[in-house]
Amino acid sequence: MLHITIHAARRMLRAGDIGARELTAAILERIDAVDGQVRAYLTLTPELALAAADRADAALVAARAAGTTDDLPPLLGIPLAIKDTITTEGIRTTCGSRILENYIPPYQSTAMARLQQAGALILGKTNTDEFAMGSSTESSAYFATRNPWNLAHVPGGSSGGSAAAVAAGECLAALGSDTGGSVRQPAGFCGVVGLKPTYGRVSRYGLVAYASSLDQIGPLARDVTDAAELLGVLAGHDPLDSTSVPAAVPAYAQMLDRPVRGLRVGVPREYFAPGMQPEVEAAVRAAIQVLADLGAEVREIGLPHTDLALPVYYLIAAAEASANLARFDGIRYGLSAAAESLWETYRETRGQGFGPEVKRRIMLGAYALSAGYYDAYYLKAQQVRTLIRADFDAALAEVDVIACPTGPTTAFRIGEKMADPLSMYLTDILTLSANLAGLPAISLPCGFDGAGLPIGLQLMAGAFQEPLLLAAAFAYEQAAGWHTRHPTL
């Protein structure tokens, strides 16, 4: 049961082949056995999970007796994990930061509420780079998470705890958040499926804000079907989020069998640049050939402003972070450092509570927004962002989906890039643009390098074209079969 999918577990639960408590207890035993090595979780809630499992079992028994199992909530009895940037009422939410070390939210995020309405039970909160600012889950204030495929390597970030938990069999699926690739990059590093929905498709209410115009909650799962199932639960308009789009939610999981024959697949020449790990390029090009063999029409395309995505992202994201994180002042919630004056309280609280990477981005963002520099930095970055979006609009007028690597390399060693922030930032170079353009994108496994580390294939599509994106991903997944492999711990 450790590597069972959501859709397989649901069939077994409704048939009475397994119980929700049995499944949950098995996953909790797995966490006890391996999380000391992987360190995916910041907070565990076994009592809450088992109590919810008992309620699920009672509902399952009653439904089987009445012959109404088809009417049960879609995630009833399914154990999931939640990234610790997503607020959970009554459960500690730290954002991987000392400044929120003892914070227990008095309200529920919309994403969490929708999971619970669908019957899911929560195992705990997963580790993250502090305030989701990082690419390796090493900037967490508590500890670094390790890649289940090789414990000497990072799991990616910032949703590294969620990706590692899924890969290691410590949950059936998990939620992450993606601001510049933070769902897709760790999914690629850990050999699981990670989906970033269109901006506005999933409510951000209760997601602790990093960069509000870029953030989006998304699932990490064992296969494309599970990702589609979770998106169907999470998606939909939310009046509590002013950026949430009031658009109908398709039945994503029922639309996966769409044929890919005739599908136009664009391959951006800029995404295969010098310096890419040769095994990554080879695996991704082989994956694109699989799509071609299935009947897709593959053609080269151009996204000419790709080389500007990194500086644009780090100006916009840092500027928005400097504004969003101003609320952590030691006055209303979280850490409060004792001091003699208001300004000293601010200085001491933020100095003690924030880590080096968060401070770096706050200072960069404050500088970009400051008088005399706003036009040269933040405004210019927004103008170039418009050009990046225009590149995608032009390309997606000619093709249906875009195929490329998730990252330029496989997972690097723990500590390898911590002294070089720019080198760390470059690991997200192929995922940033989808956030800047607000487009849906998915990473799914497409092979392994010579050291046995997973390689990710990234697919992107037009806004709200998740059904098309998921169908293309599903077709490749079923033909290639990489999703059936799991690490040994």
Domain boundaries, the chain: 6-266+398-484
Determine the Cα–Cα distance for residues 470 and 444; give it in Å rounded to an integer.
11
Which of the following is catalytic: 158, 159, 203, 322? 158
Note the pLDDT of residue 1: 82
All residues at 6 or more sequence positions from 471 whose CB lies less than 8 Å from its CB, including other chains: 255, 256, 257, 258, 260
Note the pLDDT of residue 122: 98
> How close are the terminal C-alpha atoms of the chain, in Å?
15
Name the amino acid, one letter, at 439: L
CATH architecture of 6-266+398-484: Alpha-Beta Complex (3.90)
- The answer to whether the CB of 175 falls within 8 A of the CB of 218 is yes
| Residue 338 CB neighbour total at 10 angstroms | 9
Active-site annotation holds for 182: yes
Is-above-0.85 flag for pTM?
A: yes
Note the pLDDT of residue 333: 87
Note the pLDDT of residue 36: 98
Active-site annotation holds for 158: yes
Give the bridge partners for 125, in sequence order.
43, 82
User: Tokens in use for 141?
Assistant: 């204030």
Which of the following is catalytic: 83, 125, 196, 417? 83
Determine the Cα–Cα distance for residues 14 and 401; give it in Å rounded to an integer.
36
State CA 320 to chain mean position distance. Answer: 19
What is the edge-to-edge ordering of all strands in the sheet holding 401-405? 41-44, 121-126, 79-83, 173-177, 217-221, 193-196, 441-448, 454-461, 401-405, 264-268, 297-301
Note the pLDDT of residue 410: 98
Which of the following is catalytic: 109, 182, 322, 433? 182
Tens-digit pLDDT profile for the chain (489 aa)?
889 999 999 999 999 999 999 999 999 999 999 999 999 999 999 999 999 999 999 999 999 999 999 999 999 999 999 999 999 999 999 999 999 999 999 999 999 999 999 999 999 999 999 999 999 999 999 999 999 999 999 999 999 999 999 999 999 999 999 999 999 999 999 999 999 999 999 999 999 999 999 999 999 999 999 999 999 999 999 999 999 999 999 999 999 999 999 999 999 999 998 899 999 999 999 999 999 999 999 999 999 999 999 999 999 999 999 999 999 999 988 999 988 899 999 999 999 999 999 999 999 999 999 989 999 999 999 999 999 999 999 999 999 999 999 999 999 999 999 999 999 999 999 999 999 999 999 999 999 999 999 999 999 999 999 999 999 999 999 999 999 999 999
Active-site annotation holds for 380: no
Note the pLDDT of residue 428: 95
Radius of gyration of the chain (CA): 21
